Structure 1
């Protein structure tokens, strides 16, 4: 898996190439709480998110250039990308049900659309937003946003590119999401507060997982 520091100015490509999607595996359903992860698998520890490396997935860290804080983790591949963010949630509750209308309202304010549907992980949002490209032209950027409620955490996953619009491309990316683990931590945080992400020391190193 490749590591790359990614600033807010970096954008996920809107046009993606062709790629065959592997069949879904039959492993345990995730995403997981970090305390429930099986042993014996090498993973990248980013603080609140723990990622299992996969061939063909480049790990990018979206960093706020002013504060230096890591804001999101992006897994990018030939046919799209998956953005991951984790938030503090109540012990007993459904934060995702509260957040979905907020996301839809934000999309509408920005001139986009958000349609709710039932998916593999429960209720999700199919979004479309008009964006301005680097050359000044405009285009449509589809996204698919999934929320997973965990023990005192919410994992928000955004699919971009083909996985956002093509079921055959989404299957392998959904399996990637199933392998993600969240570390909530014991400290008190307001509901909805982003869980801290850590820039690892080897973020500039390129590692390839054994196959």
Structure 2
């Protein structure tokens, strides 16, 4: 997601002025944080380093984070005393949701982040400052007035994606109250999603 992409959605002319770039970047960051909170994981791959990893009998790595996007580096660990290989490895890898590897997910993510960032109050203020732009409308009837901002199709309006459109990529967690854990088939009501 680029600043220019969000600026086009918000009606801000290109090239984006330097004083506006930071606000648009912050709006993109806010939208990505909202997606992260909703999904329960990063919406883009994250790089991890794990030490002491051993391969299984098929040569696959048993890594903590999933799904693994790619393995960047594998280094054999050396015992500092004997200077011999320990049989364990340090693995550097990227894992998580991959908008580049899954085009459907990538399209939904980019669309949601672009619309959310374009409708961020900071970005709307920038768009209001553009000469000739009229984002606010006023209505006065019998001494009563209201001023509102017309937003052209924010998230969830006019076919634009909402956070719920990312539901298929959401990480669900299982929890249980503290104490002695019963067998899942015994209580039934003590486990929830």
TM-score, scaled to structure 2: 0.23
Report which of the two has the higher share of strand: 1
Give the number of the structure whose alpha-carbon radius of gyration is greater. 2
Q: Which has the higher contact order (CA 8 A, sep 6+)?
A: 1
